[in-house]
Amino acid sequence: MGNNTMMVSSSEGKASQALRGGYAGRFSLLAATALLAVSGLAQADVTLYGIADMSAVSVSNAAGNGAPGGTTGGNVTSMADGIWMPSLLGIKGSEDLGNGMKANFKLEGDLSLTNGQMGQSIYFPKGMNNGSPMFDRWAIVGLSGAFGEVNAGQQLDPLFVQSFLNGARVAHSGSLALNGQLAYGSGVANNSMVGVFTNDMITWKSTKFYDTTIQLGYVFGGAAGSMGPNSGFNALINYAANGLNLNAGYEVMHNTNAASNPLTGGAIGLVNPSAETLTKGLVGAKYNWNDWLFAAQVNTFKTSGVPNCTAGAGVVESSILSPSTCVDSTGYEVGLGYNFTPKLQGVVNYVSMKDNVSNVTPTVSSVSLKYTMSKSTSVWVLADRSDGKGVGGWNALYNDGAANVAAVGNAVQNALALGMTHSF
C-alpha cells in the first residue's frame, strides 16, 4: 500500500521567531500556538493512510428488496462498499528513541463510502449505548526494537487477520475469515467484539528468526475480583520463505454472560448467566509457484460451559449479538489462483463449515478476476453463491451486514459485483 508520509518537524524556536517577527494579529498568535503544540512531535513520522472500496452489485433473494406481489425478498441492484476490502481511514506514526527502539501508535476506523461516516459498521451501529467509536478497528500505542514489537489497546483479533491473509483471494466476500468469525466465532460477548475487534489487548510479536515469527496476546477482562471473566489469550506462529507460508494459531476467550450485550446495552434474556468459553484454532498454508497460487486452511470454533448445548437442524446457534449459544464447528477453505498476466489474476474459492450442533454444512463458492491498474488501484469482478444452509450471515456478499444484500432466511443467494479498490 502506497502511503503519503507527513514529517512533523516544528520546534519552539520556530514559534518564537514567528512571534518576534512583529505579527501582532490574531492569525499570527494562532499560528505560533499551533507550532508550539506540535513541537513535541519533532522528528516523528506520521502517516495518513486508507482504503476506499466501492462496487455495483446485483443480488438475488435479498432481504432489503420486496419481490413482486408483496412477498419478502427479491433481486436487488445497488451500490455497496466493503465488498472486496474494508473501506477505512487511519493514522499511524513512530518516533525514533535511539538504540534501535521506536515508539509507535496507530488509530484506524471503518469508513462508509455510502454515507461518508466514520465508525459506522455492523459492529458499532449508530445509536448504540456507548456511542459509535471513530477508531473502531485499531487504537494502539507500543514499542518496537530488537525484542520485537509490543502493542496495547484495541486491536484486530490475530487469528482473524491470519485467516483473512490465508485466503487465495485476500478479500471480504466468499472468505472463511469473515463467514467463520462472524457466524461461528462470535458466540462469546466479552471484550472481543464479535470475535474480530478486541478491546484491552496487549500483544507481542517477535522479530523473524529462521523465517519464523511468533505472536502472543492477552486480553484483560476488567472484572472485579478475578482475572478470568471476560479475559482471553491467543498465540500464532507463522513461517514464510520461498513462496511458502505456513501458520497455526490458538485462542481462548472467557465470558460471564452478563445480562446485556456489549454493543447495544439491551437485555439478552438470560435467567441464569453461566460461564462460557470460546476456543478457536487455525491451521493454514499458502504457496506461490510460478503463475499459480494454492491456498488452504482449517478453522475450528467450539464453546464450553453452556448448559443444554443442543439445537435442531437448521437452527442458528451462534450470532453476532447473542451470547450463551452453542458452537461446535469446523470450517474449511481451499482456493486456486492464476496470473494470466502480471496485472490480471483469476481466483476460484470454496468455503464450507461443518456445523455439528445444527447438523448443517453451509457453503460459499466464488470466482473472481482482478486487474491491477497500479500499486494502489485495482478493478475487479466477483461472482458468489451461498447455499443458505442454516446459518445467518452466510450471504453471497459481505457488506458489513447491509440489509439490501442480506439473504432471506435459508434461501440460496447468487450475487455479482463489479468494483474498484484504491489504497493510499
pLDDT in tens, 148-178: 999 999 898 899 999 999 999 999 999 999 8
Q: From its phi and psi, is residue 154 left (phi > 0), alpha (psi between -120 and 50) or beta?
A: beta
What is the reported pLDDT for 17? 38
Give residue 220's pLDDT band: very low, low, confident or very high (50, 70, 90).
Answer: confident
Residue type at 80 in one-letter notation = A
Question: Structural domains in the chain?
Answer: 1-42 (no CATH), 46-423 (2.40.160.10)
What is the reported pLDDT for 388? 76
Rg (CA), the chain: 23
Q: Inform me whether the pLDDT recorded for 69 exceeds 90.
A: no
Pairwise CA distance, residues 340 & 338, whole Å: 6
Tabulate helix, strand, coil % of the chain (nearest 5). 10, 50, 40
Provide the 10 A C-beta neighbour count for residue 101: 13
What is the reported pLDDT for 1? 42
H/E segment holding residue 220: none
Grid cell of 204 as nine digits: 507481542
**pLDDT tens per residue across span 95-153:** 999 999 999 999 998 888 877 777 655 455 443 444 556 787 899 999 999 999 999 99
Give the chain's mean pLDDT. Answer: 77
Pairwise CA distance, residues 138 & 109, whole Å: 7
Give residue 299's pLDDT band: very low, low, confident or very high (50, 70, 90).
Answer: very high
Residue type at 30 in one-letter notation = L
* CA contacts within 13 A on the Cβ side of 150: 7
> In residues, how long is the chain?
424
Instruction: Report yes or no: 59 and 399 within 8 Å, Cβ to Cβ.
Output: no
Instruction: Report yes or no: 182 and 163 within 8 Å, Cβ to Cβ.
Output: no
What is the reported pLDDT for 153? 92
For 377-412, where are the E strands, in sequence order? 377-386
Per the listing, cell 479498490 goes with 421
**pLDDT tens per residue across span 189-206:** 455 555 677 888 999 999
Indicate the range of 22-31, 220-229, 258-267, 413-422 predicted with least confidence. 22-31
Indicate the range of 128-132, 177-181, 298-302, 304-308 predicted with least confidence. 128-132
Output the DSSP codes for 24-46. Answer: -SHHHHHHHHHHHHTGGGTTEEE
Residue 324 or residue 415, greater confidence: 415
How much is the pTM? 0.81
Our measurement of the distance from residue 233's CA atom to the centroid of its chain's CA atoms, rounded to an integer in Å, reads 18
Q: Which of 283, 305, 318, 282 is nearest to 185 (CA)?
A: 318
The arithmetic mean of pLDDT across residues 241-263, rounded, is 78
H/E segment holding residue 366: strand 363-372
What is the reported pLDDT for 36? 43
